[in-house]
Structure 1
Amino acid sequence: MAVLKRPPRDLRLDVLRGWMQVSIFVSHAFGTAFAWGIHAAWGVSDSSEQFVLLSGLVLGSVFSLKFARDGFGAAWRDIAMRAGRLWRMHLLVFLGFAAMVFAFDRLTPLAGVAQAGGWGWLLNEPWFALPGAMVGLYQPDFMGVLPLFVLLMLLLPGFVLLLGRFGARALLLPWGLYAATQILGLMPPALGGTSIAFDPLAWQVLFMTGVWLGWRALHGAAPLPRPWWLVSLAVSVVLMGFWVKLSMHGFVPEMPAWVLSLTDKDVLAPLRLAHALSLAWLVSIIVPREARWMHHAFPQAMAAIGRNSLQVFCVGLFLSWMAAALFRLFPADRLLLDLALIPAGIALLIAFARWREGDRAVSYREATARSQ
């Protein structure tokens, strides 16, 4: 197999992934007024879709490059190790989150919060709940996204093999599976009274589409064409999502139930998928690959978060849940808490990402010194 050349790092991806992590933190802090400032408030998709798409693009490029340079076995071992680390991270977050929720349930007036969040099975039957969490089918609140990524990473090698053999025609498989989920309602079973937050049989289509984009860029393919009619269609979908969201907020007449069903998140319903892809494509067209503003302080802070997105995401889950809990505990002080907690949480995420980057740089210098 020909040796491929690694493309230059695209700063846009780091900045966008960082902003998406901030948006996820804000959206999970239920009750904050800052939620009006993220794009999920004005469209029918949110940062989750963009993060899955970009993760597919990045991991698809990494795997394809490793495959070309070192062979399929080495590439498979690398992605399996990444998936293993992510699985262990999921279990660590699961146990830490459970401890936090149980503490709030027992020690504060928020009695019943554990049961409401789907943690009751762990409390009552941990010998069943823990294996359920290990296989990703027991999903209390906030515990659905990491199991999705573990599964998608394990499916990636087989899809890259299909891309190598069939090219873009390999997309028929993930898109056909997506169509089957929408028509037949396919979804893995959930355990412990919880529900699957992200149906992997549907959400895989975003990830695999991202893998294809990364794979074709790595092989030197020309950028995707931008015919005026397709750009117009993408703009129309984004505007439609804006109007539907306005109806959800009560600013315009309510949409029919069948229209709202097209925006369901757990199954990645068609309008939601179309909105996410349209928005991603328009941003890729509008935002230049290199721009002076990307090197200013705030975009650079977002880029640091983007380069450490997994760890920041996990920390953000804890911070956002605690912020929402404090809003409930002190409703009379919600405005002051909101003005303090959300900016402080974002500052903590930035500081954590900066610390991670500095710590990694020190480790790299030490490893280099030992090798000399």
Structure 2
Amino acid sequence: MPQLDGTTAAGPKRAARDLRIDAFRGLLLVMIFIDHVPGNWYENLTLRNLGFSDAAESFFVMSGMATGLAYSAGLSPISATGLWAGIAPIWKRAWVLYLTHIFLTIAGIAIFAYSAEAFGLTQLLTKNNLRQVFQNTQAAMVGIVTLGHQIGYVNILPAYSVLLFAAPIAILIGKRSPIVLLALSVFLWFCAGLFRLNIPAYPNSGGWFFNPFAWQLIFVIGLLTGMALRDGKRFVPKTKLLFALASGWLLFVLAWRYVPVLGPELNHGMAKLSSYGLPFHITSHDKTYLPMLRLLHVLALVYVVSCLPIFTRMAEHALAKPLCLLGRHGLLIFSAGALLSLAGQATFAYFKGVAIVPWIFIPFGVLTLWATAWVADWKRRASA
């Protein structure tokens, strides 16, 4: 998750901080935590209920924006400090993401292993892609270190790390021609879906759940947006036509999801188009290859939010400060949320059938995330 703690690479002074980025990033982190503890009522309040995409897609866009804001100014082939001075901080961050992923994976395995050992919850040992860890340990360990084996709910950072590793090339191309970078990104996304390009999993068959070849598109769009924001511009301009199209699509998707007759008919129509030979990433709802329906939904959502002044005022309101605090410490809060979500899954399994537990655990978890961010912020202020 590139530079989610608000620090910057060496380079010119950044533009004034956009509180919308912090606030919405914090909100997305809360939603990710809630969605990663299945079986709680609060899931009805998260982004995935509004359409085809969920908090993960929006977070990829936000992470691309964070990368563009944090690193683009320090990365230039004619920089006085040299090209490597701009590349090194990005690759260092990618390495931090890799190490964080390994830690979260081992900690997640330990949470479920302890739950099975101490409380007899042996069913947890086969959940979340853990079967290989306990039944084929040697191969699974190789897979974990090489990122080929990723356990469920802790499998988003590898894609971020790979994309961040490739970010210097993307930034250099984007500085020279944003349209060329966007065209290359769209082409790669289309080929990934058409030819099922993915990084292989190991020891399981198949590929990564968050396929970098597909998900790079919304990361790149976020990157170009962040690069433009740093210069005080918009990558995609505000126009009445685009706003109407984006808003109309969001409303149409809501109807698709919730109007009883419309949804099945549209799904049947997409299946029919698929039978005629249209590529599956155009007609399906698959998450791995970021199909067109998910892609258009998240892009429309981000565009509408960016155009409405009310969201700027909401982000600047005092009530949004806790979310901004969470957003300023994104990697830390994501990591804490990942561990809390796995602990929550074990807790729900232990107290299965006790209805009050999910109602209590989720607010407790969110409060814990806020407290973690507050301590991190306090330490930062103290050291400064």
CA distance in 1 between partners of 2:183 and 2:311 (Å): 30
Query: Cα deviation per residue 1:6-39 (whole Å; 9 max; x = unaligned)?
Result: 2110011000000000000111110000111112
Counterpart of 1:177 (choices 162, 183, 188) is 188
In structure 2, the residue matched to 1:282 is 304
- Opposite residue 121 of structure 2, the aligned amino acid is L
CA distance in 1 between partners of 2:255 and 2:301 (Å): 15
In structure 1, the residue matched to 2:350 is 329
CA distance in 1 between partners of 2:257 and 2:178 (Å): 37
**CA RMSD across the alignment:** 2.2
**1:224-243 matches, cutoff 5 A:** 224-243=236-255
In structure 1, the residue matched to 2:158 is 147
- TM-score under structure 2 length normalisation: 0.86
Secondary structure, in 3 states, of the residue corresponding to 2:84? helix
In structure 2, the residue matched to 1:129 is 140
In structure 1, the residue matched to 2:277 is none
**1:246-257 matches, cutoff 5 A:** 246=258, 254=264, 255-256=266-267
Secondary structure, in 3 states, of the residue corresponding to 1:332? coil
CA distance in 2 between partners of 1:102 and 1:222 (Å): 48
- For residues 257 and 350 of structure 1, do their structure 2 counterparts lie closer, same or farther at Cα, with a shift above 3 Å needed? farther
In structure 1, the residue matched to 2:169 is 158
In structure 2, the residue matched to 1:353 is 373
In structure 2, the residue matched to 1:28 is 36
Listed as ranges, the gaps of 5+ residues in structure 2 are 1-10, 272-282
**1:69-80 matches, cutoff 5 A:** 70-80=81-91
- TM-score under structure 1 length normalisation: 0.89
In structure 1, the residue matched to 2:219 is 207
CA distance in 2 between partners of 1:361 and 1:114 (Å): 42
Give 1:71 shift: 3.4
Identity of aligned residues (%): 25
Give 1:281 shift: 0.6
Secondary structure, in 3 states, of the residue corresponding to 1:325? helix
Say whether 1:302 aligns with 2:323.
Answer: yes
- Opposite residue 360 of structure 2, the aligned amino acid is A
Do the aligned residues in 1 keep the contact of 2:15 with 2:232 (CA within 8 Å)?
no
- For residues 290 and 64 of structure 1, do their structure 2 counterparts lie closer, same or farther at Cα, with a shift above 3 Å needed? same
In structure 2, the residue matched to 1:111 is 122
Do the aligned residues in 2 keep the contact of 1:63 with 1:79 (CA within 8 Å)?
yes
- Opposite residue 356 of structure 1, the aligned amino acid is A
Query: Cα deviation per residue 1:184-227 (whole Å; 9 max; x = unaligned)?
Result: 22222212337522111000001111111122333454563223
In structure 2, the residue matched to 1:61 is 69
Give 1:325 shift: 2.8
Give 1:332 shift: 2.6
CA distance in 1 between partners of 2:175 and 2:215 (Å): 22
- For residues 290 and 232 of structure 1, do their structure 2 counterparts lie closer, same or farther at Cα, with a shift above 3 Å needed? closer
CA distance in 2 between partners of 1:138 and 1:326 (Å): 25
Secondary structure, in 3 states, of the residue corresponding to 2:197? coil
CA distance in 2 between partners of 1:326 and 1:252 (Å): 39
